[in-house]
Structure formats: C-alpha cells, structure tokens
Amino acid sequence: MATVLSPTAEAFWTDADRHLVRYIGANAFTPEIINRAEGSYLFTEDGRRILDFTSGQMSAILGHGHPEIVDTVARQVATLDHLFSGMLSRPVVDLARRLAGTLPEPLEKVLLLTTGAESNEAAIRMAKLVTGKHEVVSFARSWHGMTQAAANATYSAGRRGYGPAAPGNFAIPAPNTYRPDFTTADGELDWRRQLDFGFEMVDAQSVGSLAACLVEPILSSGGILEPPPGYLAALRDKCRERGMLLILDEAQTGLCRTGTWYAFERDGVVPDILTVSKTLGAGLPLAALVTSAEIEESAHRRDFLFFTTHASDPLPAAVGNTVLDVLQRDRMDVSTAQLGGVLRAGLERLADRHETVGDIRGRGLLAGLELVLDRDTKRSSDQLGALVTRRCLELGLHVNIVQLPGMGGVFRIAPPLTATEEDLQLGLDILDEAIGDATRRI
C-alpha cells in the first residue's frame, strides 16, 4: 500500500528534493522524517518508533539523548564552547590525558579534531612529514573518509570521476575469510600468502618512498571483514621492514565497541599512530589522533601544521570526558562483550532458519550478516539485500547494508552499547521476519 503523505510531509520532501545536495551517491535518503531520538530508538514525525541498529552513523555508542551527555552539553555550552585553536582549556587537556590512559605505551600524545576523515588526514600528513616519504598503503575495501588524503586511501567507494588521486597510493587485498582469494589446501584463506602478494605488488610499484600503512582493524564499510589472528602483527612487520608507520583507524571499533577498549588489543599490536572518532563523541563531532612522544617530537621539529577551526574545542572535549566517565564506570567493555555474545547467538539462529544467511562475522556489538542466494556458490544478490533493508524499515528497524562488487549484501549491525537484551531480541525478530518475507519474493 502506498504511503499517503500529509501536506506538511509532502512539502518537506519537496523542499528536500529542491534544496538539498544529494551527498550519498546513488542511495536515496531514508524515507522518514525523524523528529526525535531516545536511547536505542528513533521517532518519526508521524509517530512511528524505529529501532536504531546503526547507532546513528555508527557513532552514538551511549544511545540517543543520554542524560549525562545532555547535562554536559548544556553546562559546557553555557560556560565555554569554542576557542581560538591556539588556546587551551581544561576539558581538552583532561581528555588528552585520560584518552592516553586507556592506551598502551608509547601512545600518549593527542590531537583533538572533529571527524574521522580529519583525524586520518592529520595522521597521513604527520606520517609523511616524519618519514620524509609520501606513499600510503591501504586495504582494497577500505573507507577512511572523504577529505583529500583520506579519500585517496579509500577504495570501497567514491573514486570515480574526481580526477587523479595523489601519487603513491596503493591497495592491498582485504582479508576476506568468507570469500578467500588465496586459499590453503583445505580451502581456507591463506592470508600470509595474500599479504606477501600484496606487498610484492606494492614493492613493484613503489618509487622507494613508502611512508605509512593505514588500515581498519575490522573493515566496516568493506563488509565487516575481520583480519585473522596474527594478520595485524604480520602487517606491522611488513611496515617495519620498509620503514613505514602503521596507522590504525578505529573510527568504528574504538572505545569498547568490539568488547575490548580497542580492536587492536586482540592482536597485541600497538600502532605508531591511532585515529579514533565516531565513538569518542558518542554522536557529537569529536575525533583524535594519538601517537608517541617520539613521533610527535619529530613532527614538531619539522613544523607539523594541522590548524583547523575546531581543533581543541572545549565543548566536544567535555563530551569526550563524559563518554569516558560512562564507559569506565559501567565497565562497558565487559557488558559489550556479553551483549555481543547475545547478538551473535541470535544471528546464528537466523542462519539456522534462513538458507540465504551465508556468513556471520564481527566482534562485540559490531556484527556483519552476509546474504547470498546460494550457500554453496555464495552467489550474491543486490535485490535481496535491498528488499530486506526496505522490509526492516517498514517493520521498525533501521539497518545499513553494504553492497560491493563480488560480495553479497552485508548488513552492518552496530546498536548502541547501552542497548538492552530486549532491544537486541526485537531487532533479531524483525530481521528474521524481513529475511523471510524478502526471500519469498526473490
């Protein structure tokens, strides 16, 4: 049945169509007018409640309208909101110290910014300056942002039509254990051979100026691809052999999302530069670059410059401090690991019920569910993913699907860390019904 729009809603969409730049490629805006949010739920202008399984833009880890975040914003905006970027305030220094305290040595120097793209831009700029080189390696399914250097290191989307990328950007194969390109005798991903091949290709193309390798510990926009245990350590060794810095982008995986404070903890690998964003501000624009005193000193001696309008702003820094307060007080690394187990068990039950569920992957409350038409051939279907997405929204669940060439539709599931088991079960029930409905239509 077609939706009948009220006159005000019709005017809204007319204005949106006439005046908004369409910035999400071929994808249309979600056909709902959202007028408020609370906890794990969004509420539309016409009174519908929608369970948010993406935490906004994978950011609102404490849910929407968390009372402590609300109090902090109200207090801080009335006291000290914005400063000249060369001025300092207590919230900024406190957050830098406390953020460093959540990380292993030698990560202790912090630059506070606004978005993930901006923090990756700063990290690449710092790596180039410190090493005196310019080449950057990333995964072929990567997403690091839409500013210049970050976009040059992004391969999952957005490269066509914008002219030449900066010289010296190279892609290596992303380790996809479900769809392996290099295989062992038993058909499993031979990630060591894949990694060796990737760097053989890099070495063949490099002009001898390899500066950095920028990767996500779990690729999110690339389809929730988790490198096997041992991969990050081997990647670090490849960097060391070539005098490169290892930059880890934990925009979506940092701050308890995966059941540990940082995803790289599983592998015992400490990056040379870490970037965090989305989760640090819990939905507000806050990002950080974190590195060692040695690298920061080297950059400073070379006159490192990354001067932005909102660098070291006190308002988002105060929010970041409150985020750390809640995460530490409520031991959200532990609770997220437990909730992640509940989510994983529920997704596995869906796989038992639906032949179109090809793979389940991820960690903690960052999960991926890949849909296929045939489990044996792993044949994908854009239509199936689109149908499930649409049906979920009709039933009151917002989910995000990644559809890339050579992959089936992969649902990125990232509810707030404050979600309850009841919230998770509701989302699983809706997903169950939506997959069943969509499968019958294919």
Handedness of CA 175, 181, 185, 187 (dihedral sign): positive
Tokens coding 59: 């950011």
- Let me know if 278 is a catalytic residue: yes
- Let me know if 412 is a catalytic residue: yes
Return d(Cα 336, Cα 339) in angstroms, integer.
5
Q: Which of 141, 236, 278, 363 is catalytic?
A: 278
- Let me know if 422 is a catalytic residue: no
251 and 288 in contact (C-beta within 8 Å)? Answer: no
Beta strands in 5-118, from DSSP E residues, in sequence order: 34-38, 41-44, 49-52, 107-113
Cross-strand partners of 42 = 37, 50
Phi, psi of 378 (to 5 degrees): 60, 30
CA 3 to the chain's CA centroid: 33
Tokens coding 403: 């559809």
CA-based R_g, the chain, Å:
22
Q: Which of 52, 121, 135, 143 is catalytic?
A: 143
Q: Which of 52, 226, 249, 272 is catalytic?
A: 249
Q: Which of 118, 252, 313, 361 is catalytic?
A: 252
Four-CA torsion 167, 252, 221, 334, nearest 10 degrees? 140
Handedness of CA 58, 259, 245, 180 (dihedral sign): negative
DSSP state of 379: B
Return d(Cα 33, Cα 136) in angstroms, integer.
41
Q: Which of 216, 226, 267, 423 is catalytic?
A: 216
- Let me know if 374 is a catalytic residue: no
DSSP state of 64: B
Return d(Cα 162, Cα 160) in angstroms, integer.
6
**Site of tokens 């609770």:** 335
Question: What are the start-end ranges of the H helices in 254-377?
Answer: 278-281, 293-301, 314-329, 332-353
- Let me know if 121 is a catalytic residue: no
Q: Which of 141, 238, 363, 412 is catalytic?
A: 412
Cite the active site residues: 143, 216, 249, 252, 278, 412
